[in-house]
Structure 1
Amino acid sequence: MINRMTQMVGIAGIHRMPDYSSRLERAVAMTEAAAGVSLSYFRCDPEIEIKADESPVTLADKATERSLRDSLRQYFPQDAIFGEEFGQSGEGTKTWIIDPIDGTRSFIAGLPLFGMLLGYLVEGRPKLGVIRMPALGEVYSGGEGLNAKCNGTQIQVSACRALCQARLFINEGDKLAVSEPAVFSRLVRSGQLRRMAADCYPHALVACGLADAVVDYDLQPYDYLPVSAVVEAAGGLMTDWQGNPLTMTSDGRTVTAATPELLAELLELLNRP
């Protein structure tokens, strides 16, 4: 299983990796409390606003993020917070990143595939993440040096190494078809099984071995950084379309894959002239 447990050895000896287990336990608990907020608005015809980028936002998005921010200020007052709805608060090298409802369009339509994302970054790199699916009663978690879990049970990615055998999710297919038609055309002819989807759930399915790969598009840091921590803790990989590690400044095009071989094949497909 691929992980980031490599120890750094220097003149002073072995440097131990920080233990993020207690933070991850607290993060899972905070998202559980916030899920009740989201669900109190679900399928209740929420009031909708349209943001400057033409994406929708509801009272549920804002109330859920407030719940998470309140919990973070209580338990980690020294850390900065960056959220989709209320931006940045605080400064420093340690930051919590929030997407209160990942899949607001699904939420508005009554589709139970919306998620909640919470991640912890150190110097911009994801160290732990939580993917909670409030309406499904599922929570996926993991972090650097920690096992990935779904509802407390350890999970891991599949062993799929070939795209022709892969269960492939194509996220944001409508956007891809317009902006990247050649890529979209190649993707819809790839994989053994293909599904069109959106948002965080397909990535969670890769983490637990039920899917093998996801190609995603037009994401923000709060969409992909928490997710990447879970995928990598499960032994998978998540990069941009050039194979680079994801950061706060990545361009929003991502690939999630169960194995290095599968990732390499997808990157070749995405970047083919």
Structure 2
Amino acid sequence: MAAPPRPPSEPRDARQALAAASVLGPFFAWSPWFDRAGWRPLTDLLDGDVLAERVDAAATTLRTRCDLPADAVPVRVVASVTFLGLAARLVSPPLGAAVVGGALPIAGPEDLWWRPPTAGPWPLAHGPLDVLPTGDLDDRSVSAALVETAAQGPVRLLLDAFRARFRLSPQVLWGNVASALAGAAGVLADAAPAHAERAGAVLAGALELPPLAGTGNLVRPDPNRARWFLVRRNCCLYYRIPGGGTCGDCVLTSPAQRWRHWRSVLAGPAKPPA
């Protein structure tokens, strides 16, 4: 496939906001895109056959790493987990840039490129981006803008493609998006405590808006620390992989297991919530 034309340099404020986000960790980093071999437009992932190739590659990696037989890893489960990882890469940099960098990058699917991941998060790159300054916006306005531009933008398009190809429930897929966003807000709060309150407020506002409304509840186990955790109302299906277990935010995780997870993150608040 011929590479798309090289975009011009992106606006300075987009670079600065995304650079601030990238310090939070690899899931928050989008690279500036250049016409190098290996990058493919994000729109390629709207093709069901391309998605099937990526999910098959993920299943092969999982089987090899865990020494599992081919029939032990259901395709729909791998597809759900693959989408969760991709959703995290699409929502984390905008959230980080909006909260820590003072500007929300607005990226459509035509503005982003990807490369097949070898290990760790999906490599994503961006072209020139419009931005919405967020420093003077209230938290709910940032939440609404984040949902409109990210969740209702590239994420929704990819969600619809995964749903059509793999017959996945939209409730599971939107739950994955909520999990990705909550995970990003949690990492942000841990890495940049000065921004923890705003990260939690933006997350809470986003989860009150469709299509994320109803995907789960937020809990603040320690009233003295600005750290929220999501309790999902559904599951990403990872537990169906032999040895997979459940995630900390999963609806299937027991209250005791969930509390142990929160305690490990918070380094031991005095007592569990009532």
Band the TM-score falls in, shorter-chain normalisation? under 0.3
State the TM-score, normalizing by the size of structure 1: 0.28
Which protein, 1 or 2, shows the higher relative CO under an 8 Å CA cutoff with sep ≥ 6? 2
* Structure with greater proportional helix content: 2
State the TM-score, normalizing by the size of structure 2: 0.28
